[in-house]
């Protein structure tokens, strides 16, 4: 080799490293990340409100109440396929964040590739099984569908199942964004994806598109946007890349317990959301489904703001625990719970007063307003906000298994309770079952979380009534 022949390679490597260092140097510290994270997650409720408040009246106008009720019932079924990622998306996010905080990027890459390989393999296998069995179920008779045949229902369900499988790739990619200080950017583009697919699909419906056409639109938009999301991750964090080289069976086994714990959360959520939708539809019919679903959606508009705190704090809490800073984790937990409780009470009071007017305007008086059901759902949001926010502590350190399993069990019990209460009380009975579940979960989660952040119940309650000062709650450390 002639001296200097390797100069282009050396210069290229130097430039690549300079690019990586430049990206890292441009990233903000802890306070900046929290501000950007809160801003990005705050955009989520705005997008959700646009979607929920905009798509519901438009789809009701395009399809009518009965056909829209069929869509709600069919779109609820594939949500159960979210279980096919086995919880490794969330578990890898917490693990990678803690590893990066401890300067273990090699271990974080092993976690990323191991999780991606497993999630991809299992989700594709699950989709294949669904493709075989979806045609043998009498969906029209079981769900009391009124505007679509059984074969068409199966096709819609299969397309929506494929949409879920593609969307699961974003869960693994989001772990990469989260661990490397890019949580805000990753969250922003997830919101853009959701807005793009819903607005495009709603437009297709308004142009006369069938349920099948709308389902295919969801899949097509999500497929393209998911590829773009993965490519942008590679640009932001060049050390994170897809592949098999760093995947390890030992890493998968290490993440198995917390990952399966995360599986219990979507199980509970599916039972609570889609499960209640299906139960109400089976007992009371599609029109009752529209009534209950729209009332629950409106009651939880305030909860969208509360979810901002949880998701913005998640990566920072993982890094705080990874760096051994329990004091910071404790302060963040106190202020997050204080803010979520205040927002839920204040927002619930506003919805209690103005909810009937908003609801009638939103549905254009096509659906009757059930005041008793709505008020109980607002109380459920208050209890749910406290335990859901507090649960981010065990989730951020993969120490959430007991809480997750109990949540899934409580959701199953609530379905049984709703099955007993719906016949005599209608949709009010379903709301009462939800309130009972959230009240029990609040007690369980707080006991676990306070132990993990080394806090006492007395000091925690006292902190809820102290006016927070952001600069004291989130100090700028020298290495932040």
- pLDDT tens column, 59-96: 998 998 888 988 988 888 887 676 656 678 788 889 99
Average pLDDT for the chain: 84
| 15 part of a folded domain | no
Read off the tokens for 304: 């969208």
- pLDDT tens column, 377-396: 999 998 998 899 999 999 99
Q: Which domain holds residue 66?
A: 28-473
Find the range with the poorest average confidence among 211-220, 335-344, 360-369: 360-369
Mean pLDDT of 241-263: 86
Q: Which of 85, 149, 148 shows the shortest CA–CA distance to 122?
A: 85
The answer to whether residues 163 and 219 touch, using CB atoms and an 8 Å cutoff, is yes
| 9 part of a folded domain | no
| 99 part of a folded domain | yes
Phi-psi region of 86 (alpha: psi -120 to 50; beta: other; left: phi over 0): left
| 19 part of a folded domain | no
**E strands along 265-388, which residues?**
none
| 96 part of a folded domain | yes
- Quote the CA–CA distance of 82 and 123 in Å, as a whole number: 8
Tell me the C-alpha to C-alpha distance, in Å, between residue 287 and each of 69, 73, 141, 429: 7, 11, 16, 16
Helix (H) or strand (E) holding 296: helix 286-299
Distance of CA 465 to the CA centre of its chain: 29
* Single pTM value for the model: 0.71
State yes or no: pLDDT of 442 exceeds 70: yes
- pLDDT tens column, 153-201: 999 999 999 999 999 899 889 999 988 888 889 989 998 999 999 999 9
Q: Would you say the C-alpha torsion 322, 325, 327, 333 has a positive or negative sign? A: negative
| 58 part of a folded domain | yes
The answer to whether residues 75 and 214 touch, using CB atoms and an 8 Å cutoff, is no
| 364 part of a folded domain | yes
Tally of domains within the chain: 1
**Residue indicated by tokens 């959301």:** 273
Mean pLDDT of 410-418: 91
The values of phi and psi at residue 397, to 5°, are: -120, 15
| 283 part of a folded domain | yes
């Amino acid at each position: 080799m002639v001296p200097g022949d390797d100069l282009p390679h050396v210069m290229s490597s130097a430039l690549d490293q300079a690019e990586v260092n430049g990206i890292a140097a441009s990233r903000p510290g802890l306070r900046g990340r929290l501000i950007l994270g809160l801003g990005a997650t705050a955009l989520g409720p705005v997008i959700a409100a646009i979607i929920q408040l905009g798509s519901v009246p438009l789809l009701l106008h395009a399809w009518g109440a009965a056909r829209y009720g069929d869509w709600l019932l069919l779109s609820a079924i594939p949500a159960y396929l979210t279980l096919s990622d086995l919880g490794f998306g969330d578990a890898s996010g917490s693990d990678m964040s803690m590893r990066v905080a401890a300067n273990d990027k090699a271990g974080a890459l092993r976690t990323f590739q191991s999780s991606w390989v497993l999630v991809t393999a299992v989700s594709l296998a699950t989709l294949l099984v669904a493709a075989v069995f979806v045609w043998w179920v009498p969906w029209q008779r079981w769900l009391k569908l009124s505007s679509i045949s059984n074969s068409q229902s199966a096709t819609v369900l299969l397309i929506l199942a494929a949409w879920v499988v593609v969307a699961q790739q974003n869960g693994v990619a989001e772990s990469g964004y989260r661990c490397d200080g890019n949580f805000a950017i990753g969250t922003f583009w997830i919101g853009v994806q959701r807005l793009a697919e819903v607005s495009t699909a709603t437009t297709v419906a308004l142009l006369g598109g069938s349920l099948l056409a709308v389902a295919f639109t969801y899949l097509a938009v999500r497929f393209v946007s998911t590829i773009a999301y993965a490519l942008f991750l590679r640009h932001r964090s060049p050390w994170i890349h897809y592949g098999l080289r760093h995947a390890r069976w030992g890493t998968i086994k290490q993440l198995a317990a917390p990952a399966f714990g995360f599986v219990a959360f979507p199980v509970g959520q599916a039972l609570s959301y889609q499960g209640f939708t299906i139960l109400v539809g089976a007992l009371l019919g599609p029109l009752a489904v529209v009534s209950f679903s729209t009332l629950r959606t409106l009651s939880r508009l305030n909860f969208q703001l509360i979810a901002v705190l949880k998701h913005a704090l998640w990566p920072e809490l993982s890094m705080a625990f990874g760096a051994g800073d329990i004091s910071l984790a404790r302060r963040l937990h106190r202020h997050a719970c204080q803010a979520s409780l205040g927002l839920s009470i204040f927002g619930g009071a506003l919805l209690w007063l103005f909810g009937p007017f908003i609801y009638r305007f939103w549905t254009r008086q096509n659906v009757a307003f059930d005041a008793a059901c709505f008020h109980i759902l607002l109380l459920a949001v208050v209890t749910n906000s406290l335990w859901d926010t507090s649960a981010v502590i065990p989730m951020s350190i993969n120490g959430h298994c007991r809480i997750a399993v109990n949540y899934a069990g409580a959701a199953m019990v609530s379905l049984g309770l709703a099955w007993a209460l719906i016949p005599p009380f209608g949709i009010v009975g379903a709301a009462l079952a939800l309130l009972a579940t959230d009240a029990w979960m609040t007690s369980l989660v707080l006991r676990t979380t306070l132990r993990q952040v080394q806090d006492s119940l007395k000091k925690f309650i006292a902190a809820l009534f102290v006016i927070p000062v952001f600069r004291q709650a989130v100090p700028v450390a020298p290495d932040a």
